[in-house]
Amino acid sequence: MSHLFSPLSLGPLSLSNRIVIAPMCQYSAEDGQASDWHTIHLGQLAQSGAGLLILEATAVLPEGRISWADLGLWDEATEAALGKVLASVRRWSKMPIGVQLAHAGRKASTARPWDGGRAIAPDQEHGWQVLAPSALPFLEGEPTPQALDAAGIDEVVEAFAAAARRSVRLGLDLIELHAAHGYLLHQFLSPLSNHRTDEYGGSLENRMRLLLRVFDAVRAAVPATVAVGVRISATDWVDGGWDVEQSIALAKALEARGNHFLHVSSGGLDPRQQIPVGPGYQVPAAEAIKAQIGTPVIAVGLITEPAQAEAILVEGRADAIGLARGILYDPRWPWHAAAALGTHISASPQYLRCEPHEARGLFDVGRCD
């Protein structure tokens, strides 16, 4: 059997295969509320045959949104709107669905990417005061963030826990904490963005403190049947910043707390980053971390070909493969991968008659949703 299409457990959650649809921002919410776009977008991805679908970065507080059009889960209105979308998607798909809970920190209050993605000042339309571990902007000339005080940090921790409780009420199967790509939890981890002198800054132990507090609060807020994991940037790609060695220390600390999976990405914290982009360029970091822990590791980053994904798993470099832009481009990537690797995959009965003549047996009728 193909490794890519073999089952995998992320803590209490069992996946039918090892293809994970990674979170991808859609910038299509209204006051944090999921819209019809999300029904269309998530509906098609839920028909892809992947083992798991993780919703886009979902802000735990209004000021934690990357843009004014980001998805949120901070009150009854945002919970109800997402619940409506999920009910529609689940009517037609049994695919496990998770959510990525996030706070953008100093990278919040921006325009949508197709509107330029620029930072928006607090006194401008769609703008607000951004927060961070230290009063250091992401880019020179951008609005200066406000350094979080002790009460602000406590509010962030509780907001993650509250959003996790809402996730449980929505019946979501998995929660991923976003500690990557230069957002708030990553900002606390990296010495490039965290210049604090209190118990949340300085040493590695102190810089990990907020993420570990959030993780503990979320685990305490949800039942044991819900998988909880973390997405990290394994390296800032900047000398003197967060790196793989520190990521391994964090991975071990999370594992000791019962972390169910680690989703390994990189970069996004500092504009000076020098990223050697190429096929599978982030896999070495995932491999290095996996070698030191027993927690399942998801690799992501320019993994575009079925044989490439299969080889990563066969070689033991990761436990699952995350797809993002690639599955936006080809929402049937898992079907095509199963055909290429000579295995089968489930599909909804409405699609069974599209099975190609050259791939007879591709659709496993017995497992159709």
> How does pLDDT run across 83-113, given as a tens digit for each residue?
999 999 999 999 999 999 999 999 999 999 9
**Catalytic residue set:** 183
Cβ pair 362, 356 in contact under 8 A: yes
Cα(197)–Cα(185) distance, integer angstroms: 17
pLDDT tens string 116-153: 999 999 999 999 999 999 999 999 999 999 999 999 99
Q: What is the per-residue pLDDT across 71-90, written as a single tens digit (0 to 9) for each?
A: 999 999 999 999 999 999 99
Work out the pLDDT band at 312, boundaries 50, 70, 90. Answer: very high
Question: What is the CA angle 272-242-160, rounded to 5?
Answer: 110
Q: Please, are residues 290 and 318 in contact by the beta-carbon 8 Å criterion?
A: yes
Helices (H) and strands (E) in the chain, counts: 10, 12
pLDDT above 60 (res 367): no
Burial class (CB in 10 A: 0-12, 13-18, 19+), 204: middle
Whether the model pTM is above 0.95: yes
**What is the C-alpha to C-alpha distance for residues 5 and 306, in angstroms, rounded to an integer?**
11
Which pLDDT does position 368 carry in this prediction?
Answer: 38
What are the C-alpha distances in Å from 88 to residues 55, 133, 174?
15, 39, 19
pLDDT at 369 exceeding the cut of 50:
no
The mean predicted confidence, pLDDT, of the chain is 97
Taking the C-alpha atoms of residue 142 and residue 290, their distance in angstroms, rounded to an integer, is: 37
Residue type, 296: P
